[in-house]
Amino acid sequence: MTNWLPDLSAGSGPLYQRLADSIESDIDKGLIGAGAKLPPQRDLAYDIGATVGTVGRAYQLLRERGLVSGEVGRGTYVLAQQSEGTKPDFLEPGQQGTRFVDAPRGKLRFDSTAAPDVGQGAIIADVLSRTAQDHPHEISSYTRDFPDRWFEAGSHWLARNSFRPASDAIVPTLGTHAAVMAAIAAITTPGDTIAFEHLTYSQISRSAGLIGRRTALVTSDNEGVDPDDFERVCAQKHPKMMFLMPTAQNPTLVTMPAARREAIARVARRYNVILIEDDLYGHLTDNTEPMLAEYAPERTIVAGGLSKSVAAGVRGGW
């Protein structure tokens, strides 16, 4: 295209961002049509008095916004934009996707990670109603102190098989995800490595990455984490912490046998690795294996909550 230059006088922020915004604005106005070839990066850099790297970053930003496509040797071209009139109408909630909004009569839903609906809604409604009546001022204010019953509830909820945490070792949180991330943020620092299974609850690994933690992957088999590979990763990558779900692992549903848990604890102790045992699904199973925390109590943080067993909207965790 010829006789076109971006207007960089408007907006704020880095030059590459203002350049991308200017090009996007001109595409929206029709000044740059679909199929138009943007100026070569070197030419545009010369015209606006910027570096080639700045123009390259702007073009990359436009690609991420779905406005252009580029091929090495051919250039960067503007893509056709979908008009407002051709955008599909939103479907009614009951028609979205391939899932039933409500399970068919006599069936439980197993295509969701939320707690199974077994009629607990009425019980939760009653509890919330009585809570609002008995504690109206606490409802409208911030929580500044935690009553003993909160810690006792956490101790009771996290207890399973022969594992019984003390009340003074409990930290209330807004769900299990918050509990795990609080432990990661408190014990590790940006740049530290955290070990995960190749198949794991991805929201934790992504969240850890967002706060600057590195990731090391450990292989698993049909009995869970491979102790030999965990030891290899410990020796080579020196992780500060490892995140595991020994019981009903998400997404594989694998439950580690006792010997495997003991081996993982042994490796963690040898290399001074902190273990996070996410037992969110533990109460949904009849598994009787000792908790990982029983093999390495001095270095295991147990996290659990209500989202899978009671209700996903009740953000209670410890």
26 and 167, same structural domain?
no
In a domain, 318, yes or no: no
Q: Do 165 and 296 fall within a single domain?
A: yes
- Predicted confidence at residue 83, as pLDDT, reads 57
- Total number of domains constituting the chain: 2
Domain membership of residue 62 (yes or no) is: yes
Per the domain annotation, does 201 fall within a domain?
yes
Give the pLDDT of residue 134.
87
| Predicted confidence (pLDDT) at residue 82 exceeds the cutoff of 80 | no
Within-domain flag for 116: no
Residues 72 and 158 in one domain: no
Residues 68 and 163 in one domain: no
**Domain contains 224:** yes
- pLDDT score of 263: 97
Task: Determine the structural domain holding residue 174 and report its residue range.
Answer: 149-303
Is this prediction's pTM over 0.85? Answer: no
Q: Are both 38 and 161 inside the same structural domain?
A: no
Amino acid 94: pLDDT: 47
Decide if 5 is inside a domain: no
Q: Which residue, 78, 93, 112, sits at the end of a domain?
A: 78
Q: Mean pLDDT over residues 12-16, rounded?
A: 85
Q: CATH code at 196? A: 3.40.640.10
Same structural domain, 299 and 157: yes
- Provide the pLDDT for residue 11: 75
Task: Please give the pLDDT value at position 249.
Answer: 93
Q: Give a yes or no: residue 53 inside a domain.
A: yes
Indicate whether 274 and 176 sit together in one domain.
yes
Secondary structure in 3-state letters for the chain? CCCCCCCCCCCCCCHHHHHHHHHHHHHHHCCCCCCCECCCHHHHHHHHCCCHHHHHHHHHHHHHCCCEEEECCCEEEECCCCCHHHCCCCCCHHHCCCCCCCCCCCCCCCCCCCCCCCCHHHHHHHHHHHHHHHCHHHHCCCCCCCCHHHHHHHHHHHCECCECCCHHHCCCECCHHHHHHHHHHHHCCCCCEEEEECCCCHHHHHHHHHCCCEEEEECEECCEECHHHHHHHHHHHCCCEEEECCCCCCCCCCCCCHHHHHHHHHHHHHCCCEEEEECCCHHHCCCCCCCHHHHCCCCEEEECECCCCCCCCCCCEC
Does some domain include residue 105?
no
> Which CATH number characterizes residue 58's domain?
1.10.10.10
- Domain end (from 52, 78, 104): 78
Considering the domain architecture, whether residues 69 and 167 belong to the same structural domain is answered as no
pLDDT tens-digit readout, 83-105:
545 544 544 544 445 555 566 66
pLDDT at 110 over 60: no
- Statement to judge: residues 46 and 174 lie in one domain: no
Domain ends where: 63, 78, 93?
Answer: 78
Instruction: Say whether pLDDT at 144 is over 90.
Output: no
Q: 62-66, 194-198, 233-237, 254-258: lowest mean pLDDT where?
A: 62-66
User: 291 and 155, same structural domain?
Assistant: yes
pLDDT at residue number 90: 46
